[in-house]
Amino acid sequence: PYAIRMLSRETGFDLDHIWVIGDRLDTDVECAHAAGAHSLLALTGVTSREDVEALPPARRPEMVLNDLSEIPPEWVSR
């Protein structure tokens, strides 16, 4: 969570505008939750949709994608 909070301070972005994108519930999503940022899980790693559904709602990521190609286009800058 420290790195995400530091990113928020250094960029001036509120945590409400920061999304942590990862493929692990136990590190990426937990870190986002602990920092107070949004969480997006890509099912490209060790985590399955069943793993997500087995969690209590408060511990689930806010968004689950099959892979990174499904990231909303408006989030991607070129």
User: What ranges in the chain are assigned the alpha helix state H?
Assistant: 2-11, 30-35, 49-54
Which residues are within 8 A (CB) of 30 and not within 5 positions of it... i.e. 6 or more apart? 59
The predicted structure's pLDDT at residue 75: 85
> Taking the chain (78 residues) in consecutive chunks of 10 residues, what is each chunk's mean pLDDT?
96 95 97 98 95 98 96 84
- Tell me the residue length of the chain: 78
Identify any residues that bridge with 40 across adjacent strands, giving them in sequence order.
Answer: 21, 63
Please tell us whether the domain made up of 2-67 is placed in CATH 3.30.559.10.
no
- Closest by CA to 28, choosing from 59, 49, 56, is 59
Ordered by start, the domain boundaries in the chain are 2-67
